[in-house]
Amino acid sequence: MTMPVLTTPVLRPALTLGRATIIATLMNVPAMAQDSDHIEEIMVTGLRTPVSLSQMPTATSVIDREMIDARQSFQILDLLRGLPGISIARTGGVGGQAQLRMRGAEANHVLVIIDGVEVNDPAGGDEFQWEHLTSADIERIEVIRGPQSALWGSDAVAGVINITTRSGTEGEGLRVTASAEAGSFDTRRASGRISAAGARWQFNAAAGYSDSAGSNIARSGNENDGYRNRLVSGSLGLTPSATLRLTFTARHTDTRNEFDPVDFFVTGLPVDGDRVSDTRRTYLGARANLRLMDGRLQQKVAINWIDTDNSNFADGAPDGATAAERLQLSAQSTFVVASGQRLTVAVDHEITDFSQRGTASFFGDPNQDQQLKTTGLVLDYVGEFGGLTTFASIRHDANSDFAGAESWRLGVNYRVSPATRLRASVGTGQKAPTVIERFGFFSDLFLGNPDLKPERSTNFELGLDQDLADGRVTLKLTYFNSRLRDEIDGFVFDPATFLFTAANKPGKSKRQGLELAMEASLGAGFDLLVNYTYSKSTEEAPDGSFTRELRRPRHQGAGTLLYKHEGGFSGTLNLNYTGEALDIFFPPFPNPSEIVTLDGYWLLAISGEYPLSDHLAITARVENALDTDYEDVLGFQNPGLGAYAGLKARF
């Protein structure tokens, strides 16, 4: 769905444009020092059944807790920026609306899963609000690029990001950790965690708080736009028997973000203004895993629930709200049909309730309630034949509002030699129109279109993984190609209503590119991670030509140098490059819109930690150390140089 920048977060789905690898071994610092047999045991869990990283048919990145601690990034978004195939567009500083695109696809084409709960927000255009995800309780992040609709349905057209939070470890006993930091932009942050584990149980509870006066995101004026984030999360694992595992998870965030509106009448750019967005997110999950027949049959049952609320305020008065609840029931059985061969059958059923509230006007009444039901049937096969691993998946989705849709995926991974691996996959996906695209109403601006069709995509990729210098250097090269049909444009002028609406576009969109990554163990405590992505995203114009899509940089890259001295100082240097991109400018009426170029930019981040004792360490971090002036979205300034210092304690 192509749209300009939003003027209020509740309009996220109606006003957004459209809509890694620092590969697993690249980002998994401990793995770099281990032997190849250990690397084989790194499992990718963001699939229907876990698969060894080295057997994956698609490019995959893993960020582990050690990397999170080394980088010290408050927002997970800063860790994802620069991963192969990922681009970020953020409206200003911390807490500003952020969109993550994978391989040039739309922001709501990426499924996000936290502890088994699918957390894309139906009240936010089926996007995940990355700006509010902090690193306080995150243990591991898996980025699986390429179509995964055959496994996970509508939201996984471009890929899946699977996130696991921290938990207690058997034999660890009681563990308490805490951290606090302060720094630029009048920022104060604190987090804490307590965990414990026994032979048949695990417990974890975490909390985090952040408050910042922020920076001025508009080009003019001097009003800072502040941000506040509160988090509580917890998990409980029980093992009643050797064959049964029960897991319960809960997560709640409460945020408040100040932002500036766009002045469509005078400048067409953001200006200082009293605008506030309050959001609340609650995710609950319960799962049971049962192993039968000596592990040859595995049964999984899950019940997940999310509750989201987005409320906006202008000059202290309510200015519209959206909310959603989704109940998801899932059951799957995995059979070992022969040695190295697994067949999984799964059923997913979800009920989504959406509500919108606002003030009625001459143009219409936004107050409404909608319900959507979807049932998905999945068949997934994984076969291991020596050095060859094969994948085949098919899914049928039955939707209460649309005709049934099928998605499929085929993939292979072949180990040519201990140092060389080849990957290939091909698949299709479909993205159902969002509730707001179909029914949303925003006074004087947008009216939904209930006659929209789902978007459809076809994708393939080829990859080569090569180990060099006795495994001290790893190179990974991936080529990807995607076609999207019936793309939804969310900013189509309707002369009948004098409002904008959403419509399926004729023709197709093309996305293709290369991802190159290198990881090298330099010795003496140093490791180097480097990657580069070339991505070409175009859409078909009415005359049959193809034009470049907006906010998709063609060139991106990142380099990270890590140093760690056991029992002493550790630090990182991270340099990210984002190439120039196009955006759209809407000058005041009656001037027509125009395409403008956003300059490319470099971002340098530096972090370090020094232990004062076995239980206490001091931390320091500098963000945007080059004090770069840059914009991901036209007119929205990102923060300049910021410095932070803090303490970490663990007992």
- Please give the full DSSP string across 235-267, using - where no structure is assigned: EEEEEEETTEEEEEEEEEEEEEEEE--B-TTTT
Task: Count how many domains the chain has.
Answer: 1
Rounded Cα distance, 305 and 353, in Å: 11
pLDDT of residue 12: 41
Residue 101 counted as domain residue: yes
- The answer as to whether 4 is a domain residue is no
Q: What is the C-alpha to C-alpha distance for residues 167 and 236, in angstroms, rounded to an integer?
A: 8
Q: Is 2 among the domain residues?
A: no
Q: How far is CA 54 from CA 99, 262, 463, 466, 549, in A?
A: 30, 47, 12, 11, 33
**313 vs 553: CA distance, rounded Å:** 33
| Other residues' Cβ atoms within 10 Å of the Cβ of residue 48 | 21
Domain of 498, CATH number, reads 2.40.170.20
What pLDDT score does 171 carry? Answer: 67
Cis peptide bond prior to 590, omega within 30° of 0: yes
Predicted local confidence at residue 444, as pLDDT: 72
Query: What phi, psi does 24 have (nearest 5°)?
Result: -55, -50
Cβ burial 207-240 (10 Å sphere, 16+ → b, else e): bbbbbbebbbbbeeeebbbbbbbebbbbbbbebe
> What pLDDT, on a 0 to 100 scale, did the predictor assign at position 364?
81
**AA letter at 120:** N
Q: Residues in the chain with pLDDT < 70?
A: 1-41, 170-171
Q: Which amino acid is at 519?
A: E
- The model's pTM is 0.92
Its domain, for residue 539, covers: 9-650
* pLDDT score at 86: 96
CB atoms under 10 Å from CB of 523, counted, come to 8
- Interval 57-77: pLDDT, tens: 999 999 999 999 999 999 999
> Residue 506 domain-assigned?
yes
Write out the H or E segment, with its range, that includes residue 32.
helix 29-32
| Residue 3 resides in a domain | no
Predicted confidence (pLDDT) per residue in 141-184, tens digit = 999 999 999 999 999 999 999 999 998 776 678 999 999 999 99
Q: Would 174 be classed as within a structural domain?
A: yes
Is 84 among the domain residues?
yes
Q: Is residue 1 part of a domain?
A: no
Residue corresponding to tokens 């604190």: 190
